[in-house]
Chain A
């Protein structure tokens, strides 16, 4: 495979004498801020993307994730801070000189060009190091094979399905051997089945090419399933950076806990390192007494025979494995619980009052 790895930066080439020095980042955002009029889309974001990793940027709409990606691509420019690719400061470099691969949610293919011409575009517009026609065609064929569109080179984009179009967009972005591949909600416009299969495809293509990849999504399942690390963004600030496991099981802030894992939030109080609210208790080690907020995921509930949160069963949708129940708490707030099917416990019926016990969850002091 002729895919160029991101060029190793100088710091990576010099032997690392000091073991505390981290390996050079492929991309570094240094206190980057971006304003649109009076709206601050990003507020002093610090981020390092490691060479060859697949990084997901997760956040609700309006959290600044698209802005972050466009800043890295050179489609927008920061008002403050620096952006570095390895050791190159690219803060003011134009998009056309950054050598990034960008995949848009709506594909943004060139409709009047065949699939092969689309993929070849980045090579055709080169002014220096322009490959020969033969090399170009070989590269295009290789990329189309990689995205499993080998025999569709002569088609036009409008003759393809959504999933196929996004594969073309991916091949086109990879053709320029980008230093970093950026994907803006790449599966957002696709239906659920295509989404899932293309997700696995992206992981396979990433592993085959080893190109540093950043993709943004508002779908936590997508972020957690696909990436090496996840950045959770909210209102222009980074809430947490970590592995999918850390994000799911050790959320750093109340926002992350509430955003990830279909969590139910409870307002209550901490006394003597125990959180109490509405009949439920959770250990809250290290927390000072006072008002607090707890987040319990659907899979962190169990049926309780004694004390617990009293809920009314609304629906028991058929499901395999875990027993799923949709319930409402005494305030009429809907909750969802995925319970382990215990031996000898009757399946609750609609209308039953049952008690739930939290088996896990995170407690944060109220702001």
Chain B
């Protein structure tokens, strides 16, 4: 009976308390207020406000002007190239990055440390340096381009060139996201698969690949996102022909150089929304592939 008294006193502030409670559950993990506050502040300052200023800029131009700038034939071709080549680059990285991660984790071989360091090089290299080096190598008079030209393959100043550049800069993502997961995957599971009669291939396809899928998707998404936004390394090897080998970031830069800020913003908004939609989709697939962890 005595215990009723404090409850009665609390009823006055009940709605406010309920709100705080639903937003902020009592937990032993410290620092929720601090970390969440800093996170939101930084996200706003660094990501949200700059991005919304782009949207506001574009919003100022009216629908027909916006459509004309954002969905011109030239712009649409640029989107296709940027997203298409990034997707191909990410797929290539998905395959070779997975193989590289496998080799790095599963085998001990001389030069493993060296290979390990090489993988990160695309992260560290200024993108312009990478672009110039790739262009020099893959141009028809370059070291690799010369050989390819003999068999009738043109690897620079066309779509292929763009894919090569985007593959280069996206490689570390898949390798680095897969590595820790592969290392954690216990040998037990593979041995269990073998004792149950599975061949090596069956073990890889049915046991290892599904376990790696969430991390692989993360790496794929990162490589893809990086490719969509990439500028420096691509422009040297792309050829930059309007309607053909002109990437969307380059188009934006060109609009800016002509002081056409509104058109640049319009294209930027389309890229922003398209990227966001694609990344959300990949995250959804990832959540689905992790459903068993709940």
Q: Which residues of A contact B197 (CB under 8 A)?
A: 96-97, 99, 122, 125-126, 176
CA distance A101 to B191 in the complex (A): 11
Are B189 and A125 in contact, with the CB atoms below 8 A?
Answer: no
CA distance A176 to B195 in the complex (A): 9
Are A95 and B211 in contact, with the CB atoms below 8 A?
Answer: no
Chain B facing A: main interface SS:
helix
Q: Which residues of A contact B293 (CB under 8 A)?
A: 111, 156, 158
Chain A interface residue count: which class? 35 or more
State whether the Cβ of A112 lies closer than 8 Å to any Cβ in chain B. yes
State whether the Cβ of B292 lies closer than 8 Å to any Cβ in chain A. yes
Q: Given A110-B189, A156-B292, does the pair A100, B210 have CB atoms closer than 8 Å? A: no
CA distance A172 to B292 in the complex (A): 18
Q: Which residue of B lies closest to A99 (CB)?
A: B197
Chain B interface residue count: which class? 20 to 34
Q: Given A108-B188, A125-B206, does the pair A172, B196 have CB atoms closer than 8 Å? A: yes
A21 to chain B, nearest CB (A): 32
Are A100 and B292 in contact, with the CB atoms below 8 A?
Answer: no
Are B198 and A121 in contact, with the CB atoms below 8 A?
Answer: yes
B66 to chain A, nearest CB (A): 45
Q: Which residues of B contact A114 (CB under 8 A)?
A: 292
State whether the Cβ of B207 lies closer than 8 Å to any Cβ in chain A. yes
State whether the Cβ of B294 lies closer than 8 Å to any Cβ in chain A. yes
Q: Which residues of A contact B195 (CB under 8 A)?
A: 73-75, 95-96, 98, 100-102, 173
State whether the Cβ of A159 lies closer than 8 Å to any Cβ in chain B. yes
Are A95 and B207 in contact, with the CB atoms below 8 A?
Answer: no
A284 to chain B, nearest CB (A): 48
Q: Which residues of A contact B198 (CB under 8 A)?
A: 96, 121, 125
Are B188 and A106 in contact, with the CB atoms below 8 A?
Answer: yes
Are B292 and A158 in contact, with the CB atoms below 8 A?
Answer: yes
State whether the Cβ of A196 lies closer than 8 Å to any Cβ in chain B. no
| Residue positions of B touching A, CB distance < 8 A | 186, 188-189, 191-199, 202, 206-207, 210-211, 213, 289, 291-294
Sorted nearest first, the 5 A-B pairs with minimum C-beta distance are: A108-B188, A122-B196, A156-B292, A102-B195, A125-B198
